[in-house]
Amino acid sequence: MASAEGADGSKKVEVKKANEWHMAILRAVTFLATASATIVMGLNKQTKTLVVATIGSTPVQATLTAKFQHTPAFVFFVAANAMASLHSLLMLAVECFGGKFDLKGLRFVMIPILDMMTVALVSGGASAAIFMGQLGKNGNKHARWNKTCDKFHTFCDHGQGAFIASSAGLVLLIIITIMSILKLRNYSSSFIIHSAVP
Q: What is the pLDDT of residues 41-98, one digit of tens each?
A: 999 988 888 776 778 777 777 787 888 898 899 999 999 999 999 999 998 888 777 6
Q: What's the average model confidence in pLDDT over 180-195?
A: 61
pLDDT at residue number 195: 45
pLDDT at 11 over 60: no
pLDDT at 150 over 90: no
Instruction: Indicate the SS3 state at residue 138.
Output: helix
Query: 58-67 and 45-55 as β-strands: parallel, antiparallel, unpaired?
Result: antiparallel
- Separation of alpha carbons 88 and 32, rounded Å: 9
Q: What is the separation of C-alpha 70 from the centre of its chain, rounded to a whole number of angstroms?
A: 22
On whether the CB atoms of residues 76 and 129 are closer than 8 A, the answer is: yes
pLDDT at 171 over 80: yes
DSSP 65: E
pLDDT at residue number 4: 43
Top-confidence residue, 27 or 18: 27
- Separation of alpha carbons 10 and 3, rounded Å: 10
pLDDT at residue number 93: 85
Nearest Cα to 175, choosing from 28, 20, 27? 27
Q: CA–CA distance from 14 to each of 4, 8, 25, 100 (Å)?
A: 15, 10, 17, 18
Reported pTM: 0.78
Count CB atoms within 10 A of the CB of residue 36.
19
Confidence of residue 188 (pLDDT cuts 50, 70, 90): low
Instruction: Report pLDDT digits (tens) over 83-139.
Output: 999 999 998 888 777 655 555 555 667 788 899 999 999 999 999 999 999 988 888
Instruction: Indicate the SS3 state at residue 57.
Output: coil
pLDDT at residue number 72: 93
